[in-house]
Structure 1
Amino acid sequence: MGADFLRKMDWLGRDRAVAYLRIIAFLNVASLVLLVATSQDGVDANGFLLGSDFVSFWTVGHMLQDHGNVYDGAAHIAAQRKFFASSGGYTAFFYPPTFLPFCWPLGFLSYFPALVSWLLATSGIYVIAVRRWQAALRFDFPLWLLVLAFPAVPIVITHGQTSFMVAALLGLGALLVPGRPVIAGILFGLATIKPQFGILVPLVLLLTREWKVIASAAVTAFALALLSALAFGADTFAGWYAASGRAQVAMVEGAVGFGKMTSVFAGARLIGLTPGLAYGAQAAVGLATIILLIRAFRARPYSPALGALMLAAAPLVTPFVLDYDMVLLAFPLLWLTSRGIADGFRDWEKLALALAFIAPVFARPIGLHLGIPIMPLILGFLFWVLLRRYSAEAHPRAPIALQP
């Protein structure tokens, strides 16, 4: 009885799950409303600007309008502090030049209209991506409940981050590979604005010989880079390279905060390992993940199941990933839940689903205040459960071809 409580979790049926999701959704929405209601002039009770990370993108937009060098750290700090000077420092900008075309329109708006527009646009495409996965998997759950209850969602909103957009691009791309290879490639190419999450995409596409997707993604990434070079100058790539060095130093020294990050590297640093040992742990886990993926994908065609596994593995192979990036897990969580509903849940699957879903609420406070990195363990657990389910299905269902 005791062991089955977590191993099988038969007590967590649909009705109880819906009830829990409604409670969590209410708490998520209430926390956002309270945050805004208790803020003064757009600054919350803790002294942080609403959409704390977004100010970096907005500043870049205005600097581009003024033909400034966005990769000059001192210039970026000065431009940002003209609008808001935080006692806790400032929000740096380390995105590649391919992201600049997305920042440029923000320079036409004042801060809060730009923030609202950004969140509406990026959350909109994220909801579309979740809905497409839900429809393809024939997953009968209220869409609004799935989105509002996911604890990673309010974290993205409060930071004004890019995670909605990147997750949507990768998620839709992973779903559309079988039926819309050119569109899937375009989406993967656009997702290079945050390249650390696309490390596994070329590997998976090569293993499954999705040549159209590869070609489309390569052309899109090149076109986006060319657009940025023509619009903002080819020297921005040299500036980004130099900024990447500063980003590396910031990550190693914990400028972002290891408790906020969810990677193996950050977890190792959080418990006191040296940078060298932390990178070693990250490399070992990343390599093991890649080997397991290669073994699982061998001689199998591409399918949404494979795409779900690829997306679940993405946070395990990069050292730089934060809790708001966990919105990417929506797609593997949907796939695993739909398979469990269709064929029955296997041991530990419900526990992996529950932990991965709710962990963004607790990962940061536990990491920051207790120094315990729970997220890498949960991500590894989820990946193992997904891999076991995928590998056990010796003859995966035919790829889903989506209609226009």
Structure 2
Amino acid sequence: MMPTPPTTGLHRMALTAVLTLCATLNGVTLVWMLAKQPHINADFLGFWAYPRFSPLLEIYNPDAMMRFQQALYPGFKSYYPFTYPPDFLLATPWLRDLSYTTAKTVWTLAGLTAFTAAGLGLFKGRTVPVLALLASPAALLTLVLGQTSFFAGALLLGGLALLRERPVLAGIAFGLLTLKPQMGLLLPLLLLARCEWRTIAAAVLTAGALVMLSCALLPPELWRLWVQSLPQIQRDYFSGGANLNVMITPAANLRHLGASPALAIAVQTICGLGAAGAVVTTARRTEYGLAVAVLLTATLLAQPHAYAYDAVILPAALALGWRANCPAWLKVLGGIVYLAPLAMLSPLASWCLYAPPLALLLAGLTALALKAPRGANSPA
């Protein structure tokens, strides 16, 4: 057996230390939340309110939602607009029957369970990559805020885990991911490039079934109202009302620096096209694990609206790249991007730009993928 190179041993020690510290922080936070159930300004306030809102045709009206939530939560001075497509409401009616405390507990544990299962499926039961997923600062934000990232991440990672052996089940997962459509923005490119026709068919049928079911159970007019609400969401996004400091997209970073909306949109479009090109280029020219790593990283760079908690999927990309003879500089860059959400919540938030290192990471992973042997089938 060849001795382990010193640099490799050092990298493993650093990885172990980072994961241990992050896992401890996340574990303590989870126990504290479940024990104390603090009433903080968490995004879950919005998810708990949405299925209680009435009249339903006003759900995309920001003023109506603000009045409703401030009446529902005494002392609450902000509000959480409903920005999801109408079929998202099909997944939340059970929240009406539970108190806030019980609902938040069930929501958190269900999301963690689904996300863990998806990670174990993608990495074939290997525990270190799954620990990296659960210990990430992005996962910590998801825990604290009660966001949907664990559920969306579970559908995305779970579908990618199933794609080659259970293509129909993968398509069902991807179809359900349309409940948060921006997380699957580049998936069609990967599926088309790999000619995954059964998965594409299952995804289209699942998404169509969700739309038809929502039209049967909810006012169909909601779909028109949702589309009409998107420009207002964009205006709020660029005005800074969408917490630009914790957004990770190129457009958000540029607006945070004072760039004009026109420049932000132009750069976001260029980055999106570049990310799409990376996915298409690597989808069939490299082994599956690296193609997935490129897709996950590109997804975060390409989508126009993404927050730090959406980066829960990024550790999967880093773990897949780490096993592919990844150069030291790319590992260091991956570590910086992995830990970046912590800085975004610190006094350094105004100086923290997530998109530039993310773009460099995508470029590095793409180059790594194109150097890998073609036709390899290892998932990792």
Q: TM-score when scaled to structure 2?
A: 0.90
Q: Say if 2:282 is the partner of 1:296.
A: yes
What is the aligned partner in structure 1 of residue 44 from structure 2? 54
What is the aligned partner in structure 1 of residue 310 from structure 2? 325
Cα shift readout 1:175-218 (whole Å, capped 9, x = no counterpart): 22111110111111111111112111111111111111111110
Q: Say if 2:335 is the partner of 1:358.
A: no
Alpha-carbon distance between aligned partners in 2 of 1:242 and 1:367, rounded to the nearest angstrom: 36
Q: Which residue identity lines up with residue 341 of structure 2 in the other structure?
A: P
Q: Which residue identity lines up with residue 141 of structure 1 in the other structure?
A: V
Alpha-carbon distance between aligned partners in 2 of 1:190 and 1:55, rounded to the nearest angstrom: 23
Cα shift readout 1:368-400 (whole Å, capped 9, x = no counterpart): 4xx324210221122122112211013241266
Question: 1:210-359 counterparts in 2 under 5 A?
Answer: 210-297=196-283, 300=285, 303-339=288-324, 344-359=325-340
What is the aligned partner in structure 2 of residue 109 from structure 1? 98
Alpha-carbon distance between aligned partners in 1 of 2:372 and 2:78, rounded to the nearest angstrom: 50
Q: Say if 2:363 is the partner of 1:384.
A: yes
Contact 2:250–2:264 under 8 Å retained in 1: yes
Using a 3 Å threshold, how does the CA distance of structure 1 residues 125 and 140 change in structure 2: closer, same or farther? closer
Any unmatched runs of 5+ in structure 2?
1-5
1:302 Cα shift? Answer: 7.7
What is the aligned partner in structure 2 of residue 4 from structure 1? none
Contact 1:28–1:154 under 8 Å retained in 2: yes
Q: RCO greater where, 1 or 2, for CA within 8 Å and sep 6 or more?
A: 1
1:262 Cα shift? Answer: 0.3
Q: TM-score when scaled to structure 1?
A: 0.85
Q: Say if 2:68 is the partner of 1:79.
A: yes
Alpha-carbon distance between aligned partners in 1 of 2:368 and 2:121, rounded to the nearest angstrom: 22
Q: Say if 2:128 is the partner of 1:128.
A: no
1:364 Cα shift? Answer: 3.8
Q: Which residue identity lines up with residue 293 of structure 1 in the other structure?
A: V
Cα shift readout 1:140-187 (whole Å, capped 9, x = no counterpart): 5384x4344211111001111011111111111122211111011111
Contact 1:289–1:316 under 8 Å retained in 2: yes
Alpha-carbon distance between aligned partners in 1 of 2:180 and 2:107, rounded to the nearest angstrom: 17
Q: Which residue identity lines up with residue 321 of structure 2 in the other structure?
A: L
Alpha-carbon distance between aligned partners in 1 of 2:141 and 2:323, rounded to the nearest angstrom: 25
Alpha-carbon distance between aligned partners in 2 of 1:53 and 1:132, rounded to the nearest angstrom: 28
- Of 78-87 and 97-106, more deviation after overlay is shown by 78-87
Alpha-carbon distance between aligned partners in 2 of 1:167 and 1:380, rounded to the nearest angstrom: 20
Question: 1:147-226 counterparts in 2 under 5 A?
Answer: 147-226=133-212
Alpha-carbon distance between aligned partners in 1 of 2:176 and 2:86, rounded to the nearest angstrom: 12
1:250 Cα shift? Answer: 0.8
Using a 3 Å threshold, how does the CA distance of structure 1 residues 243 and 110 change in structure 2: closer, same or farther? farther
Alpha-carbon distance between aligned partners in 1 of 2:27 and 2:189, rounded to the nearest angstrom: 39
Using a 3 Å threshold, how does the CA distance of structure 1 residues 190 and 290 change in structure 2: closer, same or farther? same
Cα shift readout 1:295-336 (whole Å, capped 9, x = no counterpart): 333x54882331221111001112210001010113212211
Contact 2:129–2:319 under 8 Å retained in 1: no
Contact 1:259–1:365 under 8 Å retained in 2: no
Q: Which residue identity lines up with residue 53 of structure 2 in the other structure?
A: M
Using a 3 Å threshold, how does the CA distance of structure 1 residues 181 and 93 change in structure 2: closer, same or farther? same
Structure 2 residue corresponding to 1:94, chosen from 83, 91, 109: 83
What is the aligned partner in structure 1 of residue 3 from structure 2? none
What is the aligned partner in structure 2 of residue 5 from structure 1? none
The SS at the match of 1:365 is coil
How many correspondences in the alignment?
Answer: 375
Alpha-carbon distance between aligned partners in 2 of 1:219 and 1:302, rounded to the nearest angstrom: 28
Alpha-carbon distance between aligned partners in 2 of 1:304 and 1:10, rounded to the nearest angstrom: 21
Alpha-carbon distance between aligned partners in 1 of 2:368 and 2:286, rounded to the nearest angstrom: 16
1:241 Cα shift? Answer: 1.8
Alpha-carbon distance between aligned partners in 2 of 1:367 and 1:216, rounded to the nearest angstrom: 45
Using a 3 Å threshold, how does the CA distance of structure 1 residues 273 and 386 change in structure 2: closer, same or farther? same
Alpha-carbon distance between aligned partners in 1 of 2:33 and 2:115, rounded to the nearest angstrom: 23
The SS at the match of 1:161 is coil
Any unmatched runs of 5+ in structure 1?
1-7
Contact 1:323–1:364 under 8 Å retained in 2: no
Using a 3 Å threshold, how does the CA distance of structure 1 residues 61 and 236 change in structure 2: closer, same or farther? same
RMSD between aligned residues: 2.6
